[in-house]
Amino acid sequence: MSDARSGKIVVVSHCILNVHSLEDGLAIYPGLEEDVVKILLERGVGIFQLPCPEMHIFGIFRKPLPKESYEHPTIRDKYRSIAEAIVEQLLWFKRKGYEIVAVLGAEASPTCGISRVGRWKDPVKKGKFPGDVIFVEGMGVFMEEFKNVLEENDIHPVWIGIPGKSLRSIDPDVFERTLDKLRSIL
């Protein structure tokens, strides 16, 4: 590099840098995910903030829902077109030789989860979030589309889901384990 830049970029879900896009009751920090951002600052990476995909569909007054609620072709198409526009920008960084090191999603989100998503315990009765939801292996609808478009363009970051309030309440160590993983790849 001809100046101080590290040439490394981490892509983050919108709410990691701005908790105000979250549904009511889910924010753990007043403004942003401080523990995650501290690591990114220490490691000297650029941070690329994704838009909040759910705000594109349901706006700001939406309620937390499991993945089934977002599993719809119209929503997939919309998310795919958002992902294509983002990857168009990321390709410029790639052309300049910078590395898209990681994507940090919001674990258990129906949209931005990386390896866990919520599902209704009873898909017929449904119910209320989070009491009637179980967390299962899977990726959020937007992240699936985003990953597809990145792979089509030969961009292969490490994928890490940052656990939020729901997951931390059922597994108190999951957040520290995730921070360790993040440190290990940067």
The residues that touch ligand SF4, with contacts defined as CB under 6 A, are 13-15, 21-22, 52-54, 106, 109, 111-112
The least distance separating ligand SF4 from the CB of residue 140, rounded to whole angstroms, comes to 7
What is the C-alpha separation between 2 and 98, in angstroms, rounded? 13
Of 93 and 164, CB closest to ligand SF4: 164
Of 101 and 106, CB closest to ligand SF4: 106
The least distance separating ligand SF4 from the CB of residue 116, rounded to whole angstroms, comes to 12
Of 14 and 147, CB closest to ligand SF4: 14
- Spacing of C-alpha 54 from chain mean position: 12
Angle 124-130-133 from CA coordinates, rounded to 5°? 40
The encoded tokens of residue 177 equal: 């384990």
The least distance separating ligand SF4 from the CB of residue 111, rounded to whole angstroms, comes to 4
Residues 6+ apart with CB under 8 A from 79: 53, 111, 141, 142, 145, 146
What is the C-alpha separation between 60 and 49, in angstroms, rounded? 18
The least distance separating ligand SF4 from the CB of residue 16, rounded to whole angstroms, comes to 8
What is the C-alpha separation between 182 and 98, in angstroms, rounded? 19
The least distance separating ligand SF4 from the CB of residue 70, rounded to whole angstroms, comes to 9
Of 59 and 73, CB closest to ligand SF4: 59
What is the C-alpha separation between 37 and 29, in angstroms, rounded? 12
Of 45 and 166, CB closest to ligand SF4: 166
- Spacing of C-alpha 186 from chain mean position: 17
